[in-house]
């Protein structure tokens, strides 16, 4: 049996985690051996779970480097889930390919674009190599249209192009936006 790569992308709040969790739970119902990973950086709700904005969750292993995935793979492993895949090093692409070549179904979920609407890290490389791709849309928080982009807000105002990733003392938030409502301050 051969494996394959599935990629679920879209902006924040588009339901990527929900969709990943849905697929993984169905695999578990089918008695398949499933392992789920996420990067350590994402401490949104829980250190050890993948949790969607709607509150559904699945047990996961938080790791720093994509190579760590290999340490958990056994002869029994059939399905590997990876959430927030955009935060991993580019080498996650090679790891996903290797797992699929070993016969494993690899399901990854993550942002296809950063807040500047530019391709995000390893995700383009995964998208082009995947057998199956789903691009989800959220609802634009300004106009209600389908949203493909993630708006970064600093103290309620659109983030600048060169705002640092970590802003001490500022309140940072994210919204789903459509192309028309998405703003980046120069
Ligand atoms: P993602 O992993 O893509 O960030 P999640 O699966 O964590 O998305 O969350 C999706 C859920 O977020 C939706 O089912 C809905 O309950 C909620 N939600 C909040 N804001 C929005 C929005 N602007 N558009 C769509 N869903 C939203
Ligand atoms: Zn809009």
CA-CA distance, 104 to 49, in Å (whole number)?
21
Task: Give the ipTM.
Answer: 0.98
pLDDT tens track for 52-98: 999 999 999 999 999 999 999 999 999 999 999 999 999 999 999 99
Q: What is the pLDDT of residue 47?
A: 66
20 lines ligand 1 (CB under 6 A): no
Whether 84 is a known active-site residue: answer: yes
Taking only the tens place, the pLDDT of each residue in 21-40 is 999 999 999 999 999 999 99
State the architecture of 4-136 in CATH terms: 3-Layer(aba) Sandwich (3.40)
Fold: same for 4-136 and 137-186: no
Please write the tens of the pLDDT for every residue from 145-185: 999 999 999 999 999 988 877 777 888 999 999 999 999 98
Dump pLDDT digits (tens) for 129-146. 999 999 999 999 999 999
Name the residue ranges covered by the structural domains of the chain.
4-136, 137-186
DSSP per position, 42-94: --SS-SSEEE-TTS-EEE-EEESSTTHHHHH--TT--EEEESSGGGS-TTHHH
Tokens of 145: 């249209």
pLDDT (0 to 100) of residue 162: 86
Atom of ligand 1 nearest to the CA of 10: 3
Domain 137-186 falls in which CATH fold?
Wheat Germ Agglutinin (Isolectin 2); domain 1 (3.30.60)
Taking the CA of residue 18 as reference, the ligand 1 atom at the shortest distance is: 6
Instruction: Give the tokens for residue 57.
Output: 């969750």
| % residues pLDDT > 70 (the chain) | 97
What DSSP state is assigned to residue 33?
Answer: -
Spatial separation of the C-alpha atoms in residues 127 and 150, rounded to whole Å: 19
pLDDT (tens digit per residue) in 86-100: 999 999 999 999 999
DSSP secondary structure code for residue 24 in this structure? H
Compute the C-alpha angle 153/141/41, nearest 5°. Answer: 45
pLDDT of amino acid 99: 98
Which residue, among 86, 79, 139, has the nearest Cα to 112 in the 3D structure? Answer: 86
């Amino acid at each position: 049996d051969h494996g394959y790569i599935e990629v679920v992308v879209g902006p924040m709040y588009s339901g990527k985690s929900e969709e990943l969790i849905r697929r993984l739970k169905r695999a578990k119902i089918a008695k398949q051996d499933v392992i789920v990973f996420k990067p350590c950086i994402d401490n949104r709700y829980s250190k050890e779970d993948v949790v969607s904005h709607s509150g559904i969750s699945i047990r996961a292993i938080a790791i720093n480097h994509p190579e760590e995935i290999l340490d958990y793979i056994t002869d029994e492993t059939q399905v590997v889930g990876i959430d927030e895949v955009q935060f991993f090093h580019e080498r996650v692409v090679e790891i996903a390919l290797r797992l699929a070549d070993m016969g494993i179904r690899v399901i990854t979920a993550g942002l296809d674009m950063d807040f500047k609407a530019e391709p995000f890290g390893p995700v383009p490389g995964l998208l082009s190599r995947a057998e199956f791709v789903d691009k989800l849309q959220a609802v634009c928080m300004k106009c209600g249209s389908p949203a493909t982009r993630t708006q970064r807000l600093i103290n309620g105002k659109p983030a600048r192009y060169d705002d640092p990733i970590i802003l001490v003392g500022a309140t940072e938030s994210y919204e789903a936006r459509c192309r028309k409502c998405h703003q980046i301050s120069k």
